[in-house]
Amino acid sequence: MKATSISATTRRIAAGLACALLAACGAPGTDPGAPANAVEAPAALPAPSLIPRPRSLEPGDGMFVLSASTPLRASGEGAAVEAQRFAAYMQDTLGTGLSVSTDGADEGAIRFIVDPGFQTDSPEAYRLQVAPSGIELSAATPEGLFRGATTLWQLAATPGAAGRIPALRIDDAPRFAWRGLMLDSARHFQSLDEIRKIIDTMALQKMNVFHWHLTDDQGWRIEIKRYPRLTEVGACRIPAGDGGKDPVTGEPRPYCGFYTQDQVREVVAYAAERHITVVPELDIPGHATAAIAAYPALGSIDTPLVPTSEWGVFPNLFNTDEDTMVFLENVLTEMIDLFPGRYVHIGGDEAVKDQWEASARVQADMRKAGVDDEMAMQGLMVERLEAFLAAHDKRLIGWDEILEAKLPDEATVMSWRGIEGGIEAARKGHDVVMAPVSDMYMDYLQTDSPDETPGRPATIPLQQVYAFDPVPAELDATQRKHILGLQATMFTEHTRFDERLEHNLFPRLAAVAETGWTPASEKDWSDFRQRLPLQLHRYDLLGIRYAKTPFQVQAKAEDDRAAGTATIRLSNPLDYELRYTTDGSEPSAASSLYDKPLDVGLPVELKAAAFFAGQPLATPQAFRFDAASLLVRTDEQLAVCPDAGRLLLRLEDDGPADGERAIFNVTIFYPCWQWNGADLDGIGALKVRLGRIPYYFQLAHDEPHRTFEPATGDHGELLVNGGGCDGERLATVPLPAAPAADGFVEVTVDLPAGTAGRQDLCIRATGDTRPEMWVLDRATLVPRAP
């Protein structure tokens, strides 16, 4: 599923939502059905709907009307720059041009004031006061002024407000100093335009740290002038399968990309203008394949390497030679010059030590250093780099594995394998950023919709992201002060398009932003859910292709084939109101409200949508259920077989080289699918449509968990069991050497005579899953011939 640009339907939905919220359509203060010369009282403005929710908001009386003629005054050091940036946002997103000046009357003006005497507990604090006579935004720093300007922009960007901003007073400041997003540009590369768009959207949600993952096994993405081969060799790889072949010539087609130092400076400056700090990551000692491919002397083995097209955990580590440490320091020297922020991330995660254990050179280095194990040797690397960074007035931060060795006191820990590493680090006196995989990884899917992008189908829904609190109850008051904040993490193995990146990040990043900024006592899921629809409108203004799946309807049917009936259950991931029709018409606010399962006769065509304030939140969806459709299950609808390894991934096909590809749900440790409770009465056969994709995973020490049923024929077999995988073998059908030209093969499995009743059908293909594996696309029950 590839997200599309803002559609006419999306714009219509946003416009309708605005009308509903303002209880008026057309021009503000007019009744569309009234005579042209009639004058109506202005429609009431909705309560301010801001994300993140401010610390304190007091409503006032009346409203301020903002227009292109509104003066924008600036006073204090840096205020004019922030006022100009606010004016640019207003022009670019709302088409409202504002002129900035440092003098003139205050009446009817918006005043931006930097006042060093402003009482605050944070440099990001601000006060926004809106009255019918004018607006005053004040802060002690330009940074605080910018945060307040984003609040004012959100108020102005309320759909249908037409420049009307409710009178109010907001006193606001962040809960945490670190409100971050990590973007992986190593696995898949993003354009500067896309990165700027992400930074803008972060800024307008008051996030302030952009952690940039620039080096990994699959690519080295930053120019280092002293070592040109890092990008000449390390920035290119050949994608797996058909994705790495030119569709015309069949020749290998590399996937390449890196950022020049001038481009890096451009990103850093763009972020700094929005008061976002960029934290670069140089991953050591693991995730180093691309660097070692460029300079083999850096590695721990003599085997030549290439930047890989596979995902997972690789054994390739930087060695521990002095020359390698000097290389890392030289790279950091150039990075320090590019990134003026306080922190530099050195990775430290998933460094499998097999190569070090087998390396005579590394073992000699360990004896010379007087350390007993490889993790302690990694600790010495971290200690040296920490001292090097400290000498350049930088602080080292790394993933929580760095806690497994002696850690310098000033090192900061980013806790990703849960919150336990963060708890340990805080108790030891280290600063901590909480980024647990369980709640903060945006490459995990957000719903179980079949329209989700490729990724990890262990879902992290919006509710779960919002519920996460980065301060563990186990810490005492002193230890809690070490929690700097939280960070969302976006690894991009499965994110081939920018549309997918935005789908994965939004709207979940809004929940991260609110947790990072809003006091814990002011957070409320129900209230956030009410404010979210207006944030979607703001995303539209910014061109953000946010995920529609949380706002869509899902439908599941349980059929009684003999009776010709079905029970249909509708749901929405965020529990918005559902309305539906069965007469072919589009659902509206007047359509039937879904409040219980629907018992229907077949066939039936059902259309449904999730609603807020009387308007659909996404394009209504159509579902048709008939005797034929209820005999089909896609891979998304089938269950994971019990004891199948449970590492379920949502993977896309390797071809075609460009454009859309088929997507499959598959457990990569043991590919197996189960149709639970399949009604086999009157069924004579099962048709299974299979695809075949490369097994592009490195599993390191998990490799022994990869299992499969051995093949007995040349190309393997399709196995179908009834009563689950340990039940009766219903059929064994030989598989072809390869799929057809379209990448698929359909296998017909004749079921034994007398097969009947409801059974759990277990479907597997035999044969080693390396280098390629069969994956199920859909299964279809075929009625027995009369």
Instruction: Provide the annotated active-site residues.
Output: 216, 287, 350
CA–CA distance, 653 with 632 (Å, rounded to integer): 21
| DSSP assignment string, 53-98 | PPSEEEEEEEEEE--TT-EEEEESTTHHHHHHHHHHHIIIII----
Beta bridge partners of 758: 679
Specify whether the CB–CB gap between 137 and 148 falls below 8 A: yes
- Residue 663 C-alpha from the chain's centroid: 18
Backbone torsions φ then ψ of 59, nearest 5 degrees: -70, 150
CA–CA distance, 512 with 504 (Å, rounded to integer): 13
Taking alpha carbons only, the member of 662, 675, 655 closest to residue 749 is: 675
* Count of beta carbons in the 10 Å neighbourhood of residue 467: 13
Instruction: Specify the pairing of strand 343-347 against strand 277-284.
Output: parallel
Specify whether the CB–CB gap between 39 and 75 falls below 8 A: no
The span from the first CA to the last CA of the chain, in angstroms, equals: 39
CA–CA distance, 169 with 57 (Å, rounded to integer): 6
Torsion-angle region of 333 (φ positive above 0: left; ψ -120 to 50: alpha; else: beta)? alpha
241-265 burial, b at 16+ Cβ within 10 Å, e below that, comes to: bbbbbeeeeeeebebebbbeeeebe
Contacts of residue 535, Cβ cutoff 8 Å, sequence gap at least 6: 49, 51, 507, 510
Instruction: Specify the pairing of strand 772-783 against strand 683-694.
Output: antiparallel
Residue 670 buriedness (CB in 10 A; 0-12 / 13-18 / 19+): buried
Report cis status (omega within 30 of 0) of the bond before 656: yes
CA–CA distance, 66 with 107 (Å, rounded to integer): 13
Specify whether the CB–CB gap between 646 and 640 falls below 8 A: yes
